[in-house]
């Protein structure tokens, strides 16, 4: 892969991220609601509404024309200032720094769970094609793909937390992230977030494996007397991995914007999804823009990593 291609993609990434950030910034400010409205709603109508509104708007700069607000925000952003969170009374950069690790932990554990289990089930289904085990795996894969995350999460809480009491649904930020108590609290969220991915990965791996099992190089490898596990693991799986990598990378970006954030809200995990959810209802502009900015960058970053991984897995793939 040429360095020029990577530089070009990075430039496109910056432009798209800037576009997403600009659109989010404008939509939030022209839409209904503002920090001043939220503050007045919280303190009640017994205060001087006009004076309070003017003070809040002056404090957060929302009394200025939209284009001035935008240029001031961009200037602050270029200097590393992400703004001030109205709802938490702390810098947005500090808020992100405090909470991103919880989102990362959830996404990391869910991805490991989904990739390992999905690949193993897919390989086994392909090798055992047409057997009862293959039909069972296929059935549960379709079920896993069809179940919405939010519904599965609620059902898991009702069954395994409320009725059986096996798992707690409270994440204790006072304990180390990888403490036994917090890992137990993450079991249900990881299953909720990973189930759909397991189902998808297993179907893609099975399909790609079956396609490669019919090719000539597999018959040649078997004719040479190679053990079946070598044929499957070294020859078939490596060639079947290329389309699977694409799906995994797409999922990495998709779960940041969708599944992980929603799962955090359902299970009370104090990650970026949770603070973004709270910020939306609090009209906390700076936090919403910052989280959207991070999500857009992560999505495009994984797209670039996918392209790079392609050239490593298949030397025939070239990018000019």
Tens of pLDDT, residue by residue over 195-216, are: 888 888 888 888 888 877 777 7
Which long-range contacts link 76-84 to residues 24+ away (Cβ below 8 Å)? 82/286, 82/290, 83/285, 83/286, 83/289, 83/290, 84/60, 84/286
Q: What is the pLDDT of residue 49?
A: 64
Domains and their CATH numbers in the chain: 101-284 (1.10.3720.10)
Q: What is the pTM of this model?
A: 0.77
Query: Which residue in 299, 256, 272, 289 sits closest to 77, CA to CA?
Result: 289
Q: What is the pLDDT of residue 12?
A: 81
Report the percent of the chain where pLDDT is more than 70: 80
Q: Provide the token pair at 9.
A: 């993609």
Q: Strand, coil or helix: what is 90?
A: strand
Question: pLDDT tens for residues 62-104?
Answer: 777 888 888 888 888 888 888 888 778 788 888 888 888 888 8
Question: pLDDT tens for residues 8-24?
Answer: 777 888 888 888 888 88
Q: Provide the token pair at 209.
A: 């494996």
- For 292, other C-beta atoms within 10 Å of its C-beta total 19
Q: Which helix (H) or strand (E) holds 84?
A: strand 84-85
Distances (CA, A) of 35 to 85, 109, 230: 10, 36, 62
Mean pLDDT computed over 121-148: 85
Q: Are 208 and 240 in contact (CB under 8 A)?
A: yes
Query: Would you say residue 33 has pLDDT above 70?
Result: no
Count how many Cα atoms sit within 13 Å of the Cα of residue 233 in the half-sphere of its side chain. 6
Q: Are 182 and 171 in contact (CB under 8 A)?
A: yes
Query: Which residue in 260, 254, 239 sits closest to 314, CA to CA?
Result: 239
Q: What is the pLDDT of residue 36?
A: 64
């Amino acid at each position: 892969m040429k360095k020029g291609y990577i530089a070009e993609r990075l430039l496109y990434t910056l432009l798209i991220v800037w576009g997403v950030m600009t659109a989010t910034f404008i939509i939030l400010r022209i839409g209904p609601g503002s920090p001043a409205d939220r503050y007045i709603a919280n303190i009640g109508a017994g205060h001087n509404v006009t004076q309070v509104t003017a003070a809040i708007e002056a404090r957060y700069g929302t009394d200025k024309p939209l284009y001035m607000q935008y240029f001031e925000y961009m200037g602050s952003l270029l200097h590393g200032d992400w703004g001030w969170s109205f709802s938490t009374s702390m810098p947005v950069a500090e808020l992100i720094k405090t909470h991103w690790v919880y989102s990362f932990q959830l996404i990391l554990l869910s991805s490991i769970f989904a990739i390992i289990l999905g690949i193993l089930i897919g390989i086994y289904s392909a090798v055992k094609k047409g057997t009862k085990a293959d039909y069972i795996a296929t059935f549960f894969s379709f079920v896993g793909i069809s179940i919405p995350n939010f519904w599965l999460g609620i059902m898991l809480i009702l069954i395994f937390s409320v009725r059986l009491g096996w798992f707690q649904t409270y994440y204790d930020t006072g304990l180390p992230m990888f403490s036994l108590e917090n890992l137990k609290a993450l079991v249900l969220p990881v299953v909720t977030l990973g189930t759909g991915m397991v189902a998808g990965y297993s179907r893609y791996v099975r399909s790609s494996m079956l396609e490669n099992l019919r090719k000539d190089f597999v018959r040649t490898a078997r004719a040479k007397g190679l053990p079946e596990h070598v044929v499957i693991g070294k020859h078939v799986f490596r060639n079947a991995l290329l389309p699977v990598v694409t799906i995994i990378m797409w999922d990495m970006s998709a779960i940041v914007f969708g599944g992980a954030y929603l799962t955090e809200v359902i299970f009370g995990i104090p990650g970026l999804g949770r603070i973004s959810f709270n910020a939306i209802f609090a009209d906390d502009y700076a936090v919403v823009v910052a989280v959207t900015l991070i999500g857009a960058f992560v999505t495009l970053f994984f797209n670039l990593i996918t392209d790079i991984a392609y050239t490593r897995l298949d030397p025939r793939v070239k990018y000019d």
